[in-house]
Amino acid sequence: MKLEPKEIIETCSQHYFTWKQEALSAKDSAKAKRYMEKAFFWLELQSNLLILWTIEKTMGHDPFVKKKIEEAQVNINKKIVDYASSILEDIDE
User: What averages of pLDDT result for each successive group of 10 residues across the chain (93 residues)?
Assistant: 89 97 96 95 97 95 95 96 90 76
Domains in the chain, number: 1
pLDDT, position 52: 95
CB 52 within 8 A of CB 44: no
d(CA 6, CA 73): 18
In which domain, by residue range, is 28 found? 5-92
Residue type at position 81: V
d(CA 67, CA 22): 38
d(CA 71, CA 74): 5
**Whether pTM exceeds 0.85:** yes
pLDDT, position 3: 83
pLDDT, position 91: 83
CB 51 within 8 A of CB 65: no
pLDDT, position 68: 96
Strands (E) across 1-93 are located at none
pLDDT, position 90: 80
